[in-house]
Chain A
């Protein structure tokens, strides 16, 4: 596609339920990132995938959070046993890394998650 696509755009769930958020990066982009944005806050780094390397999971807030990516394609972020504090916008971004060049990140429009 032309840009980073995220689905669903909005998700309302009940406390304790599991949710899956999807990110479709720009074709050919080797790097993919997940960020969380709480209301009125900046973005918090969650996880980073680069090619076939082991992902950088250092930003995941708890073991209820996990993410997968198959090759250089779609990624899913899963939140198990959701809590009210998980309510936030979850943003995905992708980029093409070439050597040491810090390439531009392209962001999706995010998934607004509301946990009731």
Chain B
């Protein structure tokens, strides 16, 4: 069975500093996608960044970047120059790539990130 594990229930970072959120996953598939989603108090999940497993290059989106280690099944999120608006729950998610179906996104339990002014 595919699983996603986030070992840090809570993290804290000083404004303008850098923080890394950890995620590991387990799968026997070779073709899949990995995601980081942000969930602010509004409850609406927002996609932060996406990584395709067959791409060796780590994905980046402005201040957000990932460290994708396929052999180690690790997918960490680095937030640079942290801002107060980055405070939220962050969820790591996995999706197998079955002919276009991404219905079964598997989520970790989340990491609550606090940003100190």
| Residues of A near any B CB (own CB < 8 A) | 31, 33, 35, 40-45, 48, 50, 56, 58-59, 89, 91, 93, 95, 97-105, 107-110, 112
Contacts and interface: CB of A to CB of B under 8 A. Distances in A.
Nearest to A9: B43
Given A42-B107, A42-B109, A97-B101, 16 more contacts: A31-B103, A42-B4, A42-B108, A43-B91, A44-B107, A50-B103, A56-B101, A56-B104, A59-B104, A91-B43, A100-B97, A100-B99, A102-B97, A103-B102, A104-B50, A110-B43
**By CB atoms of chain B within 10 A, which of A33, A41, A105, A112 has the most?**
A105
Nearest to B4: A42
B46 A107 contact: yes
**By CB atoms of chain B within 10 A, which of A40, A98, A102 has the most?**
A102
B105 interface: yes
B4 to A, nearest CB: 8
A91 B45 contact: yes
A107 B101 contact: no
Nearest to A103: B102
Contact of B44 (A31, A43, A100, A110): A110
A45 to B, nearest CB: 5
Contacts of A42: 4, 91, 107-110
A33 B103 contact: yes
Interface of B: 4, 33, 42-47, 50, 52, 91, 93, 95, 97, 99-110
Nearest to B33: A102
Contacts of A98: 100
Given A33-B103, A45-B106, A105 B47 contact: yes
A43 B105 contact: yes
B42 A50 contact: no
Contacts of A50: 101, 103
B95 A102 contact: yes
Given A42-B107, A42-B108, A104 B47 contact: yes
B108 A100 contact: no
10 contacts: A33-B103, A43-B105, A45-B105, A45-B106, A48-B103, A56-B101, A91-B43, A102-B52, A107-B44, A109-B43
